[in-house]
Amino acid sequence: MGSNRSTEPASLTIGELRKMTDNFSKERVLGQGAYGKVFKGVHANGKEIAVKLLHNNIQGIDDGQFKQEFHNLMMLNHHNIVRLVGYCFETQHQHMVHEGEIFFCEMTYKALCFEYMQRGSLQKHIHDEAHELDWDTCYKIIKGICDGPYYLHEGCEKPIYHLDLKPDNILLNEHMLPKLADFGLSKFFGEEQTRVTQFPLGTLGYMPPEYLFQNIVSKKVDIFSLGVVMIKIIAGPKGHSRSAEMPRKEFLDLVQENWRNRLQTTSTPSQPLEALCQQVNICTKIALRCMDTDRHKRPTIVHIIDKLNGTETVIDKALS
């Protein structure tokens, strides 16, 4: 698959990255995980980036995963996918003193640099009672998150499965536009649309049963994860567990009542109440269908986008 990127990511030295991050100071840490830490970097020209520095040790970390994510990101070009702007893959020879003897060893530094996302991860914006996000913002985030997998599943020469969709891996820019990040687990699939993998990876709570227990990988893994993310945006961090514990109709009624109460105080002539409530209801139903334990009953991303577009048409008609 060829890349349509307008600019290639810049090759940067570890020295340049140290300058940009105040020598990877703790004040610049944006987040961390098993792979390493993410730092805020600032170019001399004032442009901000996020620097994902992978853990370093003398034996060397897994080159394969670094190259996999780098390769995956190089292939991607979409407004709902975080953009790779630079990288570092540098080996230095450094000396160590052990029991009075000097040893020279190789230290390899690996980093991926991304466009800086001012509003951080979606995880920071999912609240239960406070409801930081209004419905218009929630819907735009849901639509943007769905456009990402639509591009990965349908818009690439070979379908790509993200395999780790979760709020921590969805970043928001200053306009609350969502972008999918962390493509370390992503896999490219050609004619073979379903595959059995030896070692299922990912995040518990976002992985469907066929992936956890039978190691079956298909597009429907991302669809399940998408459903969990959507339900958390709509119904708060406990939305997923509540939806599993309650009868479907009772859960739908509860979500509808909560949003209707909120929308009644904020709806305007340009935001018709009944059409918005219908949009909330359809989004909730889509999310529940995405989380079906039977992967064959989950909708495709094409179907999801079509349904979402339909809700926008209803609102447009209500305004005309």
Q: Is 167 helix (H, G, I), strand (E, B) or coil?
A: helix
The CA distances from residue 313 to 130, 284, 302, in Å, are 30, 18, 17
> Active-site residues: which are they?
164
* C-alpha angle 59-60-66 in degrees, rounded to nearest 5: 160
Write down the pTM of the prediction.
0.85
Question: What pLDDT was estimated at residue 197?
Answer: 53
CATH code of the domain made up of 10-115: 3.30.200.20
The CA distances from residue 239 to 47, 135, 235, 304, in Å, are 38, 16, 5, 20
Calpha distance 114→119 (Å, rounded): 14
Domain 122-319, what architecture? Orthogonal Bundle (1.10)
| Positions of CATH 3.30.200.20 in the chain | 10-115
Bridge-partner residues for 94, per DSSP? 105
| Positions of CATH 1.10.510.10 in the chain | 122-319
- Find where tokens 């929308």 sit: 263
Question: Could you list the pLDDT tens digit for every one of the 320 residues in the chain?
Answer: 344 455 788 999 999 999 999 999 999 999 876 677 899 999 888 899 999 898 765 344 467 767 777 887 888 899 999 999 999 999 888 778 888 888 888 888 889 899 999 999 999 998 765 467 899 999 999 999 999 999 999 998 888 889 889 999 999 999 999 999 887 666 655 544 555 554 456 778 899 999 888 888 899 999 999 999 999 999 998 888 888 899 999 999 999 999 999 898 876 666 788 899 999 999 999 999 999 999 999 999 999 999 999 999 888 887 76
